[in-house]
Structure 1
């Protein structure tokens, strides 16, 4: 009897295990992604397939997604270029301003993940939009020049990028964060965060397989 019970239990568990390990099927337009009729790349065409993540530092889903993206980026093929695009529903969003200031100062590798941690882990920055002076103080704590960072956040160049973001979001149908846009042609609508990266990989493969002009 014990052997019979063990066999019956195993026979019930094996199908469940197989289902859990089964690979996901091919991606489908309308379910996993949408084709963008007038989509845009963020960076100019450079012979590479662009993957852009539209994100917000205050978005807890983006904070959860960040470690996944970090691991995924390490395995990117040479023909894929990844870029972040900070969301800018509000043209004065100070965290988006902070991103572009850090980008101009070539400080993103130092402060990008730290900004997520400051908001979602340490509580050293508020979830609601802080002032540029408060962000300048935070940048100074990370070893950056406070006055320069405030000036960069308030610069015409940063204002122009904020305006460009809003056009990018509209053209690519960005409704929330995080949103992945592939080559200015597809916007990912997948379910789980991990599934979105699977869909991105499939769309990259689709783009790679297209004949070159």
Structure 2
């Protein structure tokens, strides 16, 4: 046993060094990123209206068709959990093609029927984890029927004025935000962030926190001038 001690000690040292290196890399990956306009985030000019009233809006532009959005969802949940009382998180589905429009219509229909929170993660799971075959809006309606919706009412609501109005708003605002991919985070209609600009999802979470505080300070200052 004693003759093997140097080897065991060497192996232990290497293991500790490896673990320390891995921890350093993990901490570096999650380190806060500086808010640099034009580099880590992009000002939206002109700023666009929000739907959050007096609260700072944190808006995720996404699609159920986007696997990156599915991967980002745990980070979106983290952002929501960490938001201060003066901020509000919401979603806006992007409509880049016909398939994405169907998912956007489904999102707003589920929202109108009070099913969005219940089914949001389930839809990501169905499409990207379970690889469910969804070829038509009937398939989408059937999915929501499995989660408590009346299928016929779901289809009727999908063509309602409320849903059409929200789809029209998305078609109008997403290009004005400068969004060309998902997921993208819009802070208060003023700032655009992506994982690529932030340097990764953990950094994006940190940057959202910084820009929410910045937007709140700007709102406060603007209110003080009135």
Aligned match of 2:74: 67
Out of 121, 124, 128, the position equivalent to 1:116 is 124
Aligned counterparts of 1:20 and 1:140: Cα–Cα separation in 2: 42
Within the alignment, does 1:192 sit opposite 2:200 as a pair? yes
Inter-CA distance 140–206: structure 2 relative to 1 (3 Å threshold): same
Within the alignment, does 1:46 sit opposite 2:90 as a pair? no
Within the alignment, does 1:21 sit opposite 2:33 as a pair? no
Aligned counterparts of 2:82 and 2:40: Cα–Cα separation in 1: 22
Q: Is the 8 A contact 1:38 1:172 kept in 2?
A: no
Inter-CA distance 165–143: structure 2 relative to 1 (3 Å threshold): same
Aligned counterparts of 2:18 and 2:116: Cα–Cα separation in 1: 50
Inter-CA distance 155–31: structure 2 relative to 1 (3 Å threshold): same
Aligned match of 2:110: 102
Out of 137, 140, 156, the position equivalent to 1:135 is 140
Aligned length: 209
Unpaired runs of 5+ residues, structure 1, are none
Unpaired runs of 5+ residues, structure 2, are 1-5
Aligned match of 1:159: 164
Deviations 1:110-165 (A, max 9, x none): 11111001101122243xxx322221111111121000111111223222211110
Aligned counterparts of 2:170 and 2:37: Cα–Cα separation in 1: 25
| SS of aligned partner of 1:84 | strand
| SS of aligned partner of 2:89 | strand
Q: Is the 8 A contact 1:136 1:150 kept in 2?
A: yes
Q: What TM-score results when the alignment is normalised by the length of structure 2?
A: 0.81
The alignment yields a C-alpha RMSD, in angstroms, of 2.8
Aligned counterparts of 2:24 and 2:143: Cα–Cα separation in 1: 49
| Structure with greater proportional helix content | 2
Q: What TM-score results when the alignment is normalised by the length of structure 1?
A: 0.85
Q: Is the 8 A contact 1:190 1:199 kept in 2?
A: yes
Q: Which stretch has the larger CA shift, 32-41 or 13-22?
A: 13-22
Aligned match of 2:39: 31
Aligned match of 1:149: 154
Aligned counterparts of 1:142 and 1:50: Cα–Cα separation in 2: 29
Q: Is the 8 A contact 1:42 1:52 kept in 2?
A: no
